[in-house]
Structure 1
Amino acid sequence: MIATFQNTREFAKELDAKDSLQKYRQAFHIPLQKNGDEHIYLCGNSLGLQPKLTQEYIQQELTDWANLGVEGHTDAKHPWMPYHEFLSEAMAKIVGAKPQEVVVMNTLTTNLHLMMVSFFQPTAKRYKIVIEADAFPSDKYAVESQLKFHNIDPKDGLILWKPRAEDNLCHLADLEKIIQDQGDEIALLMIGNTNYYSGQFYDMEKITQLGHENGIVVGFDLAHGAGNIQPNLHDVGADFAVWCTYKYLNSGPGSLGGCFVHERHAHNKNLKRFVGWWGHNKDTRFNMRQEFDPIPGAEGWQLSNPPILSMAAIRASLAVFEDAGFENIRAKSEQITGYLEYLIDEINNDKIHIITPRNPSERGCQLSIQVKDADKALFDALTQKGVIADWREPDVIRVAPAPLYNSYQDVFNFVEILKSLL
């Protein structure tokens, strides 16, 4: 990692020339402005760009469907029957799990509900759920609805881990205090491991340890973590995790999500779950009169046979990740985000302030830039200048240089535009 940065365009070009991942930029479609120039696309935290392989991978399935019809389930170039299995090993590497612990299925909130059916089992004494106060709204809605499903008033059953006013960040000491005061009543810690608003990456290992030491089930939402940071799910020991694949994993709008269930639960047939036939024993799945027999591991939570076209897009992106190597991706992420941080600091303007943690181990590639007295005018002006970023109410511009397709010159050009507008 570069220890000292320089605030010049020549230095940005030098970093790009030395970047071992620079070639992967050509593997993605970069959106163009009306004048034909490439946008400065810094919005992979909302929707990742399309790999050029995607069209080829999807076209293969369309061709097999056209030529084979239903026989494509067994005779396609990549047979549809076991298609989800083609994703498991590569996806497991990205989230730090064993292939048996991972499955690609459904969408994120559906998977979250399925996990809470199994892992949120409230009793008269233990019935509360802890989430971070500024969790993504969908998580909060899902958790509240699960509480209501069990006839628990969310005003009583939902505990919010709140960020501190002085830095807008959640502190582990505050979570420890919550568990110290109410641990006997808490059934589930359900934390979004990388916060969508602040960009803060929570210490998953300590959170899991804290929960398990107090008899609490622990799950994570990796929507802003998968493909961004390495969560090391197996070693961390979380009971479950869920994520989407359309942000940093570049699988296309509304694409399928991923799910992790730790191997210690793999053979527990007594876990309550909502089930469907695709989670049934593969050897007897098509003997339609069998009682449900769950596949060991995460696959046992599948409901329906998967949408192949969406999975083909995921497989295309995972091929790029596999070729680049996730350790290399993470190393560039730390450096390019550090460079962005350095350049923003160089502006030295009290109108903007980075609320994302300064420590690279406490964030992914996203920096959240808080704008003093914001009215969204600055963000709109950036958009007019060809920057695609993301605005979050009330006053934050989220900027995420994705290491697979963003260049150091992207970062430099963005900050130059920001500086001119300030």
Structure 2
Amino acid sequence: MTMRYLGFVLLVCFPGVLHAQSAAQPCRAPRLVGGYFVPVQETYSHGTKLAYACENGQKLTVEGWWATSTCQKGTWSHKPQCIDENACIPPTLANAKYTENSNGWYVNGDIIRTTCDKGYEHKDRVATARCINGIWSSLPICEKSSDTCSEPPKIPHAVIIHQDYQEVFAADSELHYECEDGYTVEGEQAKQSIFCIAGNWTEGPKCSSVTEPGTGHGGSAQGGKDWGPTTSASSGTWPIGGGSSIGSGLNEREIQTQISPINNCGKHPTIYNGDVSEIHPLFLKYQCNSFYKQVGPEEVVCYTDGTWSEVPTCKAAYCFLDTHEYPYLKPAGVKYIKDGHSVTLECVRLRQWWTDHYSLAQCTNGRIKINRSRPNSQLVWLSTKTVSRGKELAWVSPKVVAGCR
């Protein structure tokens, strides 16, 4: 009895002992139907990594043909599981959400409906996807809405409050600026808002230095005018945030659009499906990702008011074809074809004595055409579909040819 009480006292006085025991709790061997794992043990100590794979006709519920799971305080980091090869695992979608299945996967034929994040919309109004023989057909794409705004303008001596950083803002979004200590909004309160309207931000506040004794205005005083802080540019030194330079003959708008070194504008603007390809002291150049083409200015410059000039956009330049929708093609999943390129697809052999036949799918200016190659290499058009930015809209020809005869 004395020893039992002593043990209780030790646990009370030294709770770290109990915590250490819990943290080191082992895991039981997982039950993996249709698969196998190594090493095979009845129990696994905390931190042990288990590798596993599935038998033929089965696949993992995660990407790849093998995976690992780690024992963490008595449970596995994810449950090792094998499912039918015709089932689908949850897709990864950018800027979108959907209700995930409770078992973590989807049977053949299941349909999911997606919802785009705020500020995004479904490309070509496609919001659903279907699981077909283990592959998701026509996964929805959420792209930036035309009436949304990108990163808000950077204003010298000001910050945005009550809002985390993000790259896209929905229409009618409101952001609040506040000047740093020692600066105030010209003629207004210490806070001022901007709004996203029709894809553009409204004009933001300007933060000026507060009045200093002996000068009457912040900064240098010349002839009773406050010329404000200045930025040195390749074309000279120009005031920012208003005023005019002595003898320059330029109005305020002309001054604000003078080019400044790019390091005066801070973080480089980002574009979707593209990135900066060249950095020059006075400009940036961008390059779009594969399957996209650049639209807009070739160079982006920094203005002396701390804002960037217009940035280019990357537009889709590809078609896609779901082979499951063509009965005369061997199923090979979804094929993405770059504009101006083509891919060769194998046809279904309806008779044993046939030689192999192939179809050629070609993408031209967003339109996809499918033709067939006969043994004598003559090309015969089977069908034509109109494709708008990668999405099928309607049949151009109502004639459907069954098989590659």
TM-score bracket for this pair, using the shorter chain length = under 0.3
> Higher relative contact order at CA 8 Å, sep ≥6: structure 1 or structure 2?
1
**Quick check: which one's helix share is greater?**
1
More strand by share: 2
TM-score, scaled relative to structure 1: 0.19
Relative to the length of structure 2, the TM-score reads 0.19
